[in-house]
Chains A and B, each alone.
Chain A
Amino acid sequence: MSQITLTIDGKICNGSAGQTILEVARANDIYIPTLCYLEGLSPIGACRMCVVEVEGNAKLLTSCTTPANDGMVVHTATDKLKAYRKEILELMFAGRNHFCMFCSQSGDCELQRLAIEHEMDSVRYPFLYAPFHNDTSKETIQMDHNRCILCLRCIRVCSEKVGAHTLDLEKRGWNTNVVADLGQLLGQSESCVDCGACAQVCPTGAITIRDFVYRGRRNDCDDVVESVCPLCSMGCKIKAYVRTGSVTRVEGTETSSPDGGQLCFKGRWELPKSTERDRVAVPMIREGSSFREASWDEALDLVASKIKGAAKDKVGALVSDLSSNEDLSSYAALFRYGLGLGKYDVFNGDVSRGFLKGMEPVAMQKVRPFTAAHNILESDVIMTVGADPQEEAPVVASYVRVGAIKNGASIINVSGDGAPFPGVTDSDLRVDESDMESFLGGFCAMVADVKSGKDIDTSELADRFDLDAASVCEAVKLLAGAKKPVFVVGKKAAKFPKAVTAVTNVAIVSGGTFDDGLAVVPLMTSGNSLGALHAMLGQESWLGEGDLDVLFVSSTGLVDEDPETLDAMAKSRFTVAHTPFMVHPLVNMADVILPAQAWFEVGGHYCSLEGESRKAEVIVKPGDERIGVDEVVSGLADRLGVTLDRSCSVGPCESVFLSDVAPDKAKTVEL
C-alpha cells in the first residue's frame, strides 16, 4: 500500500493510502474528539464532532470518513472548530433530555466528557423537552431514548459484529429513534441474542445494563483487569472491573478485533453474577445430613485416607475443563501420573474425545485439523454440522450470522434438529447425528464428483436419509463451488467421532483450508477443552460404569453439572467436591467440600478456539483461606506419599495440534 504524508496541526504525519484523516491522526498521537466513531465499526460521520479544517477546502470535513491524501494540510484544533463542536454539543443537549443530574451514567458518559472538555457551561438554545420513551421491557438492558444522541454505535455493532440486526432507526429528524425489530420493544425482540454489545458501546446513558448502574460505573471502579472468559471455548478477552474487591462489570476488549470486543450472554451476565453466589469458605465434612466445618489438615487427611483405602480402579477424578492449563497440570500430576489412576476425565469428555478421535487421522498427516473461529468471516459457504453455535459458542454464531448477512456467505446446515440460523440458511438437511458419518461420506463423494466435472445423482443418497434430492443436489453444488468453505462442527456431531472424520473429509475435498489449518471449527464445550486434551482427558468414558469408592470432582461452579456426573457422584461411596461456590445440587452429593478459588481469583493460561494461548489474570486476590489447586494437590500428594512430576504439564497451545504440513496437502481418510 502506498505511503502518504500529510501535515496535521503542523506535524508531519505518515500514513497509508486508504486511511482516513482520523486514522492517520490517531496513529500519530493527535487527538480529535469523536462520538459516533468507534474503531472496528464502519465510520458514518454522523455526530460531526471529528470535523477538521483542510486547507484548500472551504467546508469542515468529518475526519472519520474523509480519506487522507498525500500532501494534505489539516488543522484539528482551531478556534473555529472548537466553537463549531461546542455548538453541536449544545444542540445535542437541547434536542434531547440530557440531564446529567438524573442520569445513572453521569461520570461515565462520553457526551458529558466532551461537553465539559469544550467548556459548555450553559446551552444557548431553548430545550425542546420532547417526550421520549424509556424502554424498560428487557430484564437485562434498559433503553432510554431521552439520552440517545443517534450515534448509531449500537445499531452498527449489532449488525456488523453480532450479526443479529436487532436494532435500527425509525422516523426521521428530531423524532428519530432506535428501535428493535422494526418497532418492537427490546424485551419483545425475537432477534436479540442478549449479548449486551449495544450497551457496551453506547457512549451515553441511552442503553445501560441494569445491574451495572447500581454496582458501580466504570469510573467508580478501583481496578480494571484484562483476562479471559472461561465459559466457552472461544475464550473471549474480557475487561473485568473491580470495585471494593468484587467484580462488578465484565466487558469485551478490543473493538478492532474480528469479534468487535463483543461478549455473549454467558460472559456478559454470568461472570459478574457469579460473584454474588455463596462461597465455600472453609473445608466442610459431612455429618449425617449436614456439614461441619473442618481444618484443611483434617479434610485432606480424610480424603487421602479414603483414596488410600480404595482400590485404584475404584477411584475416579473428574475435573472441569474450565480450569486453566496450570490447574489441569496439577490435577494430572497427581491423579493421572502420580497415582496412576485409569479413571480420570474432564466434564464433557465425550465431546472432546469425539473431536480428538475424529480429527486424529488428519492430525496424523501433520496437518492441523482445525482453524481459528474468526476465519468464518472470510468464508463464502458455511456448513454447520450437528451444531447450535448460539448455544455452544455464541460468538461463533455471530461470525456465522455476519458471514451470511454482511458478507453474503451461504449457509448449509446438516443436523437432526433443523437449522440453527433460520431465515438465513440456504440449505437445511435433516440428518440425525448418528447417521452423519454415512451421509457425509456419500455427500463428500458427490462434492468430489462435481469438482471433477462429473454429473451426479443425489436421489439414492436422498432416499436413504429421507431427504429431498434437489436440496441435497443444491447443497453439494453450493459446496463444490465454494471458494473458501468452512465447517462448524457441534457437540452433537462430536459424540460420533467418525462423523467428525467425515466432516474433515468434506473439508479436504471441497478445498476448505486456511493458513493455520483445515477449515473446521470444532465447537469444543468449555473454556479450556483444547488445553485439557493432553492433560486430563480420559481415554474412554467411565462415568456410570459401576460404583466408585472415591470420586474427586473439581468444579468451577460456573456451569451446571450434567445429570450423568451427578448420578455418578450420588452412586460413589465417598465424594469430594472441590468448588468455590455453594452450588446445588453439586454440594449435596459431597462428603467433603473443599473451598476452591473462583474464576476471578485464579490466573493461568487457556487454549482458545482461536488457537491462541490466552492468559487469564488474577482479577481479585483470593483470601488466605482459599488456597490454589496446586497447594491442594501438593497437600494430598504428601499424604498419599506421591512425588509429583511437574514436567507433565500441558503443552503450549500451538502444539495441541502441530501443523507441519500445509493444510491443502491433507488427504481424505477412509471411514
Chain B
Amino acid sequence: MSKPKVATVWLEACAGCHMSFLDIDERIVDLLDKVELTSCPITDIKEIPKVTVGVISGALGNDEEVHIARDIREKCDILIAWGDCAVMGGINAMRNFMKPEEALEVGYKDTLSTVNPDGVIPGEDLPKLLPMAIPIDDEVKVDVYIPGCPPDADTILYVFQEILEGRIPTVPVDMMRYD
C-alpha cells in the first residue's frame, strides 16, 4: 500500500506554523517513513495533488487564498487548520477593524517605517483583498483544528500520528494553547 500523502499550504500567515513543523526535528524522518510529503513550502512543489491530509496555515485574506483553500479542500480527505490564523483569523484579523482600502493605505503609506515617496499601492496585478481576513472554516469545511501561535511541534506530530492511526483527533487540553 502506498503511503498516505500530505499537502500543506501557507496562506495569510508568517512562517511560524511551518517552522514549528520542522521543529519536530529528527522525528520528521520517522514521519516521512509513513507519509509522503507532496506540495509544501518545504518541498516547494507547487501543484497540489490528490492527498489524504491537507493542511492550511494562515487565514484567508484575498481571492487567491480562497481559491487555494477550496482547491486543497477538494483534493484532500481530511483538512487541518494549522495555527491561530487558520483557526481564528489570528493577527491578520487586526485589519478587520478598518476597510481594506484603509488597511492598504496604512500598510503602504502611513506607517512610520514606510519609505514610499510615490505613494504606490500595489493593486491591479495582485489578488483582490477580501473585506476581512477570515478563518478557514468561514469558507471551507475543516476537520481538525490545531490552535496555537504557532502550535507546538509536539502537537503537530500528535495530530499526524493520530490520523495515521485512523482517528480524527482533537487537540487534548494539556497540549492546547492559543499563543
Instruction: Judge: A and B partners, yes or no.
Output: yes
Known: A101-B90, A122-B81. A106 touches B178 (CB 8 A): yes
CA distance A107 to B179 in the complex (A): 8
Q: Which residues of A contact B114 (CB under 8 A)?
A: none
A276 located at the interface, meaning its Cβ lies under 8 Å from any Cβ of chain B in the complex: no
A121 at the interface (CB under 8 A from B): yes
Q: Identify the closest chain B residue to A127 (Cβ).
A: B89
Contacts of B93 in A (CB 8 A): 97, 99, 127, 129
A126 touches B (CB below 8 Å): yes
Instruction: Kindly identify, within residues 264 to 311 of chain A, every residue whose CB is under 8 Å from any CB belonging to chain B.
Output: none
The reply to whether B96 and A129 form a contact with Cβ atoms under 8 Å apart is yes
Please list the 10 inter-chain residue pairs (A to B) with the smallest Cβ-Cβ separation, ordered nearest first.
A100-B178, A101-B149, A129-B96, A121-B145, A122-B145, A106-B179, A100-B179, A131-B97, A101-B179, A116-B176
Does A323 reach chain B (CB closer than 8 Å)?
Answer: no
Judging by beta carbons under 8 Å apart, are B89 and A119 in contact? Answer: no
Q: Is A348 an interface residue (CB 8 A)?
A: no
Known contacts A100-B178, A131-B97: does B146 contact A121 (CB below 8 Å)?
yes
Tell me the minimal C-beta distance from A622 to chain B in angstroms. 36
Among B87, B149, B177, point to the contact of A122 (Cβ < 8 A).
B87
**Cα-based distance from A127 to B93 in the complex (angstroms):** 10
Q: Kindly state whether residue B88 has any CB partner on chain A within 8 Å.
A: yes
Confirm or deny: B132 has a beta carbon within 8 angstroms of a beta carbon on chain A. yes
**Cβ of A119: which chain B residues have Cβ within 8 Å of it?**
170-173, 176
Residue B66 CB within 8 A of the other chain: no
Q: Are A122 and B88 in contact (CB under 8 A)?
A: yes
Residue of A nearest to B85 (CB): A101
- Distance in angstroms from A220 CB to nearest chain B CB is 13
**Given A122-B81, A122-B142, A122-B145, are A129 and B132 also a contact pair (CB < 8 Å)?**
yes
- Bits for A101-118, please: 1 = Cβ < 8 Å to B, else 0: 111001100001001110
Closest to B177 in A: A116
List the interface of chain B (C-beta within 8 A of A). 81, 84, 87-91, 93-94, 96-97, 132, 135, 137-138, 142, 145-147, 149, 170-173, 176-179
- Do residues B170 and A121 form an inter-chain contact, with CB atoms below 8 A? yes
- Answer whether residue A627 sits at the interface, using C-beta atoms and an 8 A cutoff: no
Q: Judge if A648 is at the interface, Cβ distance under 8 Å.
A: no
Q: Give me 5 A-to-B residue pairs in the complex whose CB atoms sit less than 8 angstroms apart, sorted by A's number.
A: A119-B171, A119-B173, A122-B137, A123-B135, A127-B135
Q: What's the Cα separation between A126 and B139 when bound, in Å?
A: 11
- Do A121 and B87 touch (CB < 8 A)? yes
Which residues of chain A have C-beta atoms less than 8 A from B147's C-beta? 121-122
CB distance from A374 to the nearest CB of B (A): 40
Chain A: residues with CB nearer than 8 A to chain B? 93, 97, 99-103, 106-107, 112, 115-117, 119, 121-123, 126-127, 129, 131
13 new A-B pairs (CB below 8 Å) besides A101-B178, A122-B88, A122-B147? A99-B89, A99-B90, A101-B84, A101-B179, A106-B178, A115-B178, A121-B147, A121-B171, A121-B176, A122-B81, A127-B88, A127-B96, A129-B97
Q: B88 to chain A: which residues have CB within 8 Å? A: 93, 99, 122-123, 127
How many pairs of residues, A versus B, come closer than 8 Å at their CB atoms?
Answer: 66
Residues A117 and B173 in contact, CB atoms below 8 Å apart: yes
The distance in angstroms between the C-alpha atoms of A102 and B138, with both chains bound, is 22
Find out whether the CB atom of A99 lies under 8 angstroms from the CB atom of B146.
no
Contact A99 B96 (CB under 8 A): no
Contacts of A112 in B (CB 8 A): 178
Q: How far is the CA of A115 from the CA of B145 in the complex (A)?
A: 14
CB closest chain-B residue, reference A128: B96
Chain A residue, CB-CB nearest to B149: A101
Contacts of B145 in A (CB 8 A): 121-122
A121 to B97, CA, bound (A): 24
- Which A residues lie within 8 Å of B173 (CB)? 116-117, 119
A344, chain B: closest CB distance, angstroms: 56
B11 to chain A, nearest CB (A): 16
Within the assembled complex, what's the spacing in Å between the Cα atoms of A491 and B172?
60
**Closest chain A residue to B133 by CB distance?**
A129
Asked whether A102 lies within 8 Å of B170 as measured between CB atoms, the reply is no
Q: Is there an interface contact between A99 and B84, defined as CB atoms closer than 8 Å?
A: yes
Report chain B residues within 8 Å CB of A126.
138
A97 partner residues in chain B, CB cutoff 8 A: 93
Question: What's the least CB distance linking B158 to chain A, in Å?
Answer: 13
CB nearest neighbor in A for B172: A119
Residue of A with least CB distance to B87? A122
Q: A residues within 8 A CB of B176?
A: 116, 119, 121
Query: What is the CA–CA distance of A131 and B178 in the complex, to the nearest angstrom?
Result: 21
Minimum Cβ distance to chain B for residue A33 (Å): 13
The chain A residue with its CB closest to the CB of B150 is A101
CA distance in complex: A302, B176 (Å) = 63
Q: How distant is the Cα of A112 from the Cα of B147 in the complex, in angstroms?
A: 12
In the complex, the chain B residue whose C-beta lies closest to that of A94 is B88
A469 to B166, CA, bound (A): 90
Q: Does the CB pair B91–A102 fall under 8 Å?
A: yes
Taken together as a complex, chains A and B put the C-alpha atoms of A129 and B177 apart, in Å, by 22
Q: Whole-angstrom distance between the alpha carbons of A121 and B82 in the complex? A: 11
B146 / chain A contacts, CB cutoff of 8 Å: 121
Bound state CA distance, A57 and B172, in angstroms? 33
The smallest beta-carbon distance between A287 and chain B, in angstroms, is 50
Residues of chain A lying within 8 A (CB to CB) of residue B179: 100-101, 103, 106-107
Within the complex, what minimum Cβ distance (angstroms) separates A329 from chain B? 50
Contact A99 B91 (CB under 8 A): yes
* CB nearest neighbor in A for B136: A122
By beta carbon, the residue of chain A nearest B148 is A101
A28 to chain B, nearest CB (A): 24
Q: Given the complex, which residues of A lie within 8 Å of B96, measured CB to CB?
A: 127, 129
CA distance A122 to B87 in the complex (A): 6
Most chain A CB neighbours (cut-off 10 Å) among B88, B97, B138: B88
Give A121 to B90 CA distance when docked, in angstroms: 13
Min Cβ gap B12→A in Å is: 14
Q: In whole angstroms, what is the CA distance A116 to B177 when docked?
A: 7
How far apart sit A379 and B132, CA to CA, in the bound complex (Å)? Answer: 58
What's the nearest-Cβ distance from chain B to residue A86, in Å? 12
Cα-based distance from A131 to B99 in the complex (angstroms): 12
Residue of B nearest to A103 (CB): B179
**Taking the nearest CB of chain B, how far is it from the CB of A351, in angstroms?**
50
CB distance from B47 to the nearest CB of A (A): 29
Alpha-carbon distance between A625 and B93 when the two chains are bound, in angstroms: 53
Closest to B81 in A: A122
Q: How far is the CB of A560 from chain B (nearest CB, A)?
A: 40
Give Cα distance in the complex from A115 to B173, angstroms. 9
